[in-house]
Amino acid sequence: MAPTLPSSDQASDQDNWDNGRLARKRQLLIEIVLRNKLTALVVDGDTTCRVLEQLLLRSYGVQTQGVDNGRDAVALIASGVKLDLIIIDMILPVLNGLETTRQIRDMGVHCKMLGVTICSRESERQVFLAAGVDVFIEKPLDPEHLVPILRELDGQ
């Protein structure tokens, strides 16, 4: 269901703003066509966030799986699964996001890692980058941040 729009003679400034943003987002969704099969892992303890991030990735054709804690993420990667992209939250059950990131990097995994988390402090951002994520993105993950990264991974 596309967002419902009032008829043009009733469009308010808010409607026009929404329509403009929506058009740009649609453009982002339509523009990218991946040439390669990319694979991704979403590591997030929150079901809503994890489901949405996986769906967003899949909408671009990225083969995606998800785990809800850091220990399972480490185990999955240790099993030999090859990934192009890992999206990881900072606060995770069982094994936190910082330690999970460090362990993944210590295993010699060099794939792109996005720290996608709620952040209120610059120090948190720096700590997450120091742990090994390549990019820090404040939740929610959106196409404007994701699409350039997917293009880069796809060699576009």
Partner 1 sequence: MERNPMRRQLAIMRQSLFDQGHVDEQFVQLEELQDDANPNFVEEVVTLYYRDSARIILNIEQALERKPFDFRKLDAYMHQFKGSSSSIGAKKVKAESTLFREYCKSGNGEGCMRSFQQLKKEYATLRKKLGAYFQLARQAGPVETASRPK
Q: Smallest distance from the beta carbon of 19 to partner 1, in angstroms?
A: 10
The phi and psi torsions of 60 (rounded to 5 degrees) equal -100, 5
The number of residues that bind partner 1 (CB under 8 A) is: 39
Longest dimension (CA), the chain: 60
The phi and psi torsions of 78 (rounded to 5 degrees) equal -65, -25
Window 48 to 77, contacts with partner 1 (CB under 8 A): 48-49, 51-52, 55-56, 59, 61
CA 7 to CA 4: how far, in whole Å? 10
- Asked if 137 interacts with partner 1 (CB under 8 A), we say no
CA 70 to CA 57: how far, in whole Å? 20
Structure tokens of 35? 């040439």
- Asked if 156 interacts with partner 1 (CB under 8 A), we say no
Considering only 75, 78, 118, 130, the residue that binds partner 1 (CB under 8 A) is 118
* Sites of contact with partner 1 (CB under 8 A): 1-6, 12, 14-15, 18, 21-22, 25-26, 29-30, 33, 44-49, 51-52, 55-56, 59, 61, 89-91, 117-118, 120, 139-140, 142-143
